[in-house]
Structure 1
């Protein structure tokens, strides 16, 4: 696979939106004057301040929340890297859609909207209520022996994610949470981390 992640999509090279420094400082000033010991909320307080900088306000809001859940199988699972067989990805897709998975329960508890994507579980599940079929194949290739995806598949996957985020923002989401599920995903994530960070990676 090419290491050029642009693949003809200049938006991948666009810089991230700038943090609003004035809003960040205003939020910190406000936190220090609330009825509580300064810094008593720990990391939660810092997260709220950072969110203010992203949203450009001293009083942040996370509602409405939009969860984007992507599901696919990973070919490297055939190397025995997971405790569970690949069929679990198929089962979890159904479980998420039916409301039985932890992410589904938590989404319901906070009133978050959730959009579920089948990007390529091993067995095509057919139509499932609440699941968008965006299948790019029957999972990725086994990275121990072959490329995980073609450049065309990668470009399509990135575009699916970008479109999903844009759709969430257009629907008024103030916080977008992205998640993924698929047996073998930890190995894939580790390989990507090593490839991107290279010698700077510290374990």
Structure 2
């Protein structure tokens, strides 16, 4: 059984530090924006109806995943369902990403790309004018399990995200978000698989 990325204690430590810093940053942003909401009048620009968005996703692997893969490109579609007008939405997201494998140092060994189909659901909260905090969880399905020697067909995934809606007029927006995403192990005794992602999507209200 082939493994295209290795177990590395240093990488695990770096990933833990990155995750800790990101969690602290998100917590700080949430606290500050919640306080700001008490003194800033929130403009009604996010809309109160169902909103769909579709666009490209690009990611940069970190930790052990970076040992085997350089970066990824893909796309996703997302639906936002309003719970509290202009402020809180339930999200459902599905997509596809191809992670480009690094060249092997072993003669005759051809590393295979990693192909994932993530399906997630979560909450999207607007604490202030068009700025949002989003958290999602779900499953990431491996489209080429046999190529990469994975033991599992799917892995648990969670993704905290921050982003901003840029109004294009009417019910149309540009939804730009940055997230940290983590998948559980694909291979027994392997590592979790983490990356930073950027999504820039065209969003429109129904």
TM range (shorter): under 0.3
Instruction: Give TM-score, length-normalised by structure 1.
Output: 0.22
Q: Which has a greater percent of helix?
A: 1
Larger Rg: 1
Instruction: Give TM-score, length-normalised by structure 2.
Output: 0.22
Structure with higher RCO (Cα < 8 A, 6+ apart): 1
Q: Which has a greater percent of strand?
A: 2
